[in-house]
Structure 1
Amino acid sequence: MSQTRYAGLGRLGVGTPQANPTVEDEFAIMPPRGMSSNVVRLTSTAEDPLERLRRYIEDLDDTLGDFDVLKPAVFGFACTGSTYLVGHEREREIVAACEARRGYPVVTAAEAILWALDRLNARRIVVIAPYPAALVAAGQTYFEGQGLTVLAKHRIETATADTRGIYDLAWGQAAEALAGLDVKGADAVLLSGTGMPSLPVVAAGHASGVPVISSNFCLAAKMMSRMGRDDLLDDGLGVVGWRDRLAEALR
């Protein structure tokens, strides 16, 4: 461990939507001790929630400039909805340009989900999301475009049609939605949305044994892998020790 600074295992850069509190909460739990999460806000003044999500990723290089001279070991873009809206090809273009200019790896939450599903050999999925209907549909189109089959999707209702309503959810609502779903035939259940608290639901899993994953959960694991630290991942894709840290956080 470095004797000159904190975060001897490495500094993570994380971009979270401007009003999203959940990413920071869950990234305080998932990475191992000795690794820091340095957070920047994804911002937009757009009134339309879907346009706001598009701006988060289209303006990503400008956002990374807010780090100034700080160069994280890897940067995680913690907003799945942005990718669903612009599509896989445009996302790859933006990521490649940012990596070339900034000089460090950039991982998106949507990319991390695909990576996790591949590691699980999961091709048929059930999706739970607290998005507006149009964004749920965009997510289904995105996954089916990557060769996956969405067997079922469940939309968790929020207090408003604005995507900011996600931030008022409790993890119990995701657990309730999962308990009421038929997951027969599914290889995995995805809790999509970085603003929806999900780690306790991922930890509890499903009675059928079907793996349960979430946007933030996948993003943290993929970031470890991009750092070359697959040794920090356990067989269930989680970062080693995350369940103990979750239990401590919930006390």
Structure 2
Amino acid sequence: MSGRRYDYGRTAMIGIGTPQANPTVEAELRIILPPGCALAVNRLTSSSDDPMQRLRDYLEGLEASLDQYDTLRPDAYGFGCTGSSYLIDANAEVRIVERIEERLGYPVVTATAAIRWQLAQLGAKRIALASPYPPALSEAARAYWTGAGFDLVEVRRIDTGSGDTRSIYTLGSEDARPAAEALGRLEIDAVLLSGTGMPSLALIADAADSGPALLSSNLCLANRLSDLVGLPAPTGWRSRLAEALAPIKGAPAR
């Protein structure tokens, strides 16, 4: 961590990049990370109408996106988009990250790199994937995790009813529950709920202590960012989640 101190974010200043229409990354990381961490969020943008090209643009244009921070230098930065890594050559991603770290002077971690780190921490080799993606991106995800050396036992799609990846943002945790529970009965080490746009903390909070670990892109990203700034894995987020999901007194029923 840097020697700077802020009134807000005295524990750490964490940078987060989130796809332009994604409402989930920032919300879940604010719940997971301890209150002493401040989030500085920038939007990953693309003008492409092609969902796959948009995802590529987010990562290929990351260095330019970080210029939004001007002189701000976070203690660590998390790229909050899993699908981009499934479509970019892995070596090209490494070069992008290394170039940014050398120029800006702070660590940068992608969501997929955070997931790989978390799986390594758990010693997990046999995994299953719950995928809220259209078929082509689901297949790219399969190729990515297989190419990364994992035994990917099953990929189970969560249908959003659209080929546009932005339709993920309409999902709730309950939409992923059938897939997560089915995959959790397999002889595997971990179930990955892929995609930073799909809410998942309620599912993880409900998961049994026995059986395969249930992980999400956002939880792994928060854990890795905590590690990079010298903090232990976040605890206490379940109570913050309960508070965030509690009904608002006096609010009209929806």
TM-score (norm 2): 0.92
Aligned partner letter, 2:141: G
Q: 2:135 — aligned with what?
A: 133
Q: Distance in 2 between matches of 1:227 and 1:191?
A: 25
Residues 44-59 of structure 1 aligned to structure 2 (within 5 Å): 44-59=46-61
Counterpart contact for 2:131–2:195, Cα < 8 Å: yes
Q: 1:18 — aligned with what?
A: 20
Q: Distance in 2 between matches of 1:207 and 1:118?
A: 19
Q: Does the C-alpha gap of structure 1 residues 241 and 182 become closer, same or farther in structure 2, counting only changes over 3 Å?
A: closer
Pair 1:249-2:240 in alignment: no
RMSD of the TM alignment (CA)? 1.5
Instruction: Render the CA deviation track for 1:67-119: whole Å, top value 9, x for unaligned.
Output: 11111110000001001110321111110001011111101000000000011
Question: In the alignment, which of 33, 37, 40 is matched to residue 39 of structure 2?
Answer: 37
SS state at 1:127 partner:
strand
Q: Distance in 2 between matches of 1:16 and 1:188?
A: 25
Tell me how far 1:206 sits from its aligned partner. 4.8
SS state at 1:125 partner:
strand
Instruction: Render the CA deviation track for 1:143-199: whole Å, top value 9, x for unaligned.
Output: 111110110011111132100000000110111222233632210000000000001
Counterpart contact for 1:87–1:142, Cα < 8 Å: no
Residues 11-160 of structure 1 aligned to structure 2 (within 5 Å): 11-160=13-162
Instruction: Render the CA deviation track for 1:9-32: whole Å, top value 9, x for unaligned.
Output: 011000000000001110120110
Aligned partner letter, 2:68: D
Counterpart contact for 1:61–1:98, Cα < 8 Å: yes
Show structure 2 runs of 5+ residues with no match. Answer: 247-254
Q: What is the aligned length?
A: 243
Counterpart contact for 2:134–2:162, Cα < 8 Å: no
Aligned partner letter, 2:216: S
Tell me how far 1:123 sits from its aligned partner. 0.3
Q: Distance in 2 between matches of 1:43 and 1:95?
A: 18
Counterpart contact for 1:194–1:215, Cα < 8 Å: yes
Q: Distance in 1 between matches of 2:235 and 2:185?
A: 27
Instruction: Render the CA deviation track for 1:17-67: whole Å, top value 9, x for unaligned.
Output: 000000111012011011111100000001110010000000000000011
Q: Distance in 2 between matches of 1:44 and 1:141?
A: 25
Counterpart contact for 2:126–2:150, Cα < 8 Å: yes
Aligned partner letter, 1:69: T
Aligned partner letter, 2:132: P
